[in-house]
């Protein structure tokens, strides 16, 4: 019998439909300390494409996921799900975020660069007026030019300062709680690549510090996104770049930041980078194991931050109990690939 004291790690499969990519979808759960994954999709849409997971900051059993048919919520650690009543446009949810200072304020980022906000834990929603002009971006023939909000970030010191990482488009910013938005992508072009951003993080260690990760690498800004510089991670592909997918700050330790990376979207290289000085310098982490696919997601147990997890797009999951010094493998069931999202609560 589960209790509210049980912690779980959740992993979402994206259900990719692009040509040549495996179509895998669903949501898996594993109790902390266990090594058995459960598929928990009761109440979710058929073949749920899970690209975002958010756990309630104060109620560990309450979990939110983004699907191809909007956001869903569970109040029993994922045993049962219900669709939230939101007047969206039937587009997929790609990101979910709680305001770090308000446990009832929840944001949802959609394809087509739409953002909705709830102030009561998801009961009622308001669409934010996101009208942003993007720089001209080049995409390969046949590529999807959609503007997806892959990640959202709120400044913990100022909840009216909100950022979004857009694929394909760059980073957008609002300084008035989402009423007005502007494109903040100056300096994120590398080797004439697209401004294809996957994640954004407001650093707590230094005021004004913002990080963004994308196809062309890791970028940092010291002036709230006005200007960006490449962090120059160890290059992992022939273009001299590092494909970055996720960036997370250790709970309670703002000087320690982790980045999930690889050589490309689909690659045989999975890497973690870590900074111990608030993002000034970065080192590649020797995990003691060699992930065989691109590292996609990182998650921490908020109650015990030294307990952390990471997952590759190929379904490899790794857990550490000592803040990333050593790792153990907890692979998903055979065939469970296309990992996009991860959370622990």
Of 305, 310, 304, 307, which is closest to residue 289 (Cα–Cα)?
A: 310
DSSP string, 82-114: EE------SPPEEEEEEETTEEEEEEEEETTS-
Q: Could you tell me if residue 146 is inside a domain?
A: yes
Q: What is the pLDDT of residues 149-176, one digit of tens each?
A: 999 999 999 999 999 999 888 899 999 9
Is pLDDT above 60 for 142? no
Q: Do the Cβ atoms of 75 and 103 come closer than 8 Å?
A: no
Whether residue 177 is contained in a domain is answered as yes
Does residue 95 have a pLDDT over 60? yes
* Average pLDDT of the chain to the nearest whole number: 91
Query: Cα(170)–Cα(203) distance, rounded to whole angstroms?
Result: 18
Backbone angles phi, psi at 99, to 5 degrees: -65, 125
What pLDDT is recorded for position 28?
Answer: 98
What integer pLDDT is reported at residue 1 of this predicted model? 38
Domain extent, residue 194, equals: 8-344
d(CA 97, CA 229): 26
**pLDDT of 291-334, one tens digit each?**
999 999 999 999 899 999 999 999 999 999 999 999 999 999 99
Q: How far apart are CA 156 and CA 158, in angstroms?
A: 6
Beta strand ranges found along 156-276 (DSSP E): 158-167, 170-174, 182-183, 197-202, 210-214, 217-221, 229-230, 243-250, 253-262, 270-275
Confidence of residue 6 (pLDDT cuts 50, 70, 90): confident
Residue 3 belongs to a domain: no
* Residue 1 resides in a domain: no
Q: Are 115 and 107 in contact (CB under 8 A)?
A: yes
Could you tell me the pLDDT band of residue 194, with boundaries at 50, 70 and 90? low
213-250 residue pLDDT tens: 999 899 999 999 999 999 889 999 988 889 999 999 99
Residue 134 DSSP label: P
Give residue 66's pLDDT: 97
**Is it the case that residue 184 has pLDDT exceeding 70?**
yes
pTM of the model: 0.93
- The reported pLDDT for the residue numbered 220 is 95
Does residue 2 lie in a domain region? no
For 146, list phi and psi in degrees, rounded to 5: -60, 150
Q: What is the mean pLDDT of residues 110-126?
A: 94
In angstroms, rounded to a whole number, what is the distance separating the alpha carbons of residues 63 and 79? Answer: 10
List Cα–Cα distances, 47 to 16, 17, 68, 94, in angstroms: 11, 12, 9, 16
d(CA 114, CA 127) in angstroms, rounded, equals 8
Name the pLDDT band for 14 (thresholds 50, 70, 90). Answer: very high
- Does residue 61 sit within a domain? yes
The pLDDT of residue 141 is 53
Q: Which residues contact 123 (CB under 8 A, 6 or more apart)?
A: 84, 85
Convert the pLDDT of each residue in 53-94 to its tens digit. Answer: 999 999 989 999 999 999 999 999 999 999 999 998 889 999
- Residue 243 inside a domain? The answer is yes
- Quote the DSSP letter at residue 283: E
Tally the domains of the chain. Answer: 1
Q: How far apart are CA 43 and CA 40, in angstroms?
A: 9
Q: In this model, does residue 16 exceed pLDDT 80?
A: no
Query: pLDDT confidence of 2, banded at 50, 70, 90?
Result: very low
- Would you state the pLDDT for residue 76? 97
Which pLDDT does position 168 carry in this prediction? 83
- Asked whether 174 and 158 are in contact (CB, 8 A), the reply is no
The answer as to whether 309 is a domain residue is yes
CATH number at residue 194: 2.130.10.10
If you count them, how many residues does the chain have? 345
Of residues 165, 164, 169, the one with CA closest to residue 134? 169
């Amino acid at each position: 019998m589960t209790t509210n004291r049980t912690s779980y790690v959740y992993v979402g499969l994206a259900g990719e439909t692009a040509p040549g990519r495996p179509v895998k979808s669903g949501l898996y759960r594993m109790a902390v300390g266990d090594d058995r994954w459960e598929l928990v999709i009761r109440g979710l849409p058929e073949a749920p494409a899970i690209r975002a997971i958010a756990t309630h900051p104060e109620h560990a059993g309450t979990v939110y996921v983004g699907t191809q048919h909007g956001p869903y919520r569970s109040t029993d650690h994922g045993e049962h799900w219900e669709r939230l009543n939101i007047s969206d446009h039937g587009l997929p949810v790609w990101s979910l975020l709680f305001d770090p200072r308000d446990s009832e304020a929840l944001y949802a980022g959609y394809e087509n660069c739409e953002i909705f906000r709830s102030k009561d834990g998801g009961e009622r929603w308001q669409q934010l007026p996101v009208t942003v002009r993007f720089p001209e971006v080049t995409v390969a023939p046949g590529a999807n030019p959609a503007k997806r909000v892959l990640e959202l970030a709120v400044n913990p010191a100022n909840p009216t300062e909100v950022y979004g990482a857009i694929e394909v488009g760059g980073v957008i910013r609002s300084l008035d709680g989402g009423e007005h938005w502007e494109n903040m992508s100056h300096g994120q072009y590398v080797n004439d690549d697209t401004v294809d951003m996957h994640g954004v993080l407001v650093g707590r260690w230094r005021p004004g510090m913002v990080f963004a990760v994308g196809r062309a690498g890791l970028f940092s800004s010291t002036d709230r996104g006005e200007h960006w510089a490449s962090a120059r991670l160890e290059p992992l592909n022939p273009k001299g770049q590092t494909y970055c997918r996720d960036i997370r700050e250790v709970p309670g330790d703002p000087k320690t930041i982790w980045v999930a990376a690889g050589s490309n979207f689909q690659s045989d290289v999975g890497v973690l980078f870590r900074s111990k000085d608030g993002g000034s310098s970065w080192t590649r982490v020797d995990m003691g194991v060699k992930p065989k696919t691109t590292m996609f997601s990182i998650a921490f147990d908020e109650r015990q931050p030294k307990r952390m997890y990471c997952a590759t797009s190929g379904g490899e999951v790794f857990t550490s109990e000592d803040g990333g010094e050593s790792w153990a493998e907890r692979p998903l069931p055979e065939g469970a690939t296309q990992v996009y999202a991860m959370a622990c609560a």
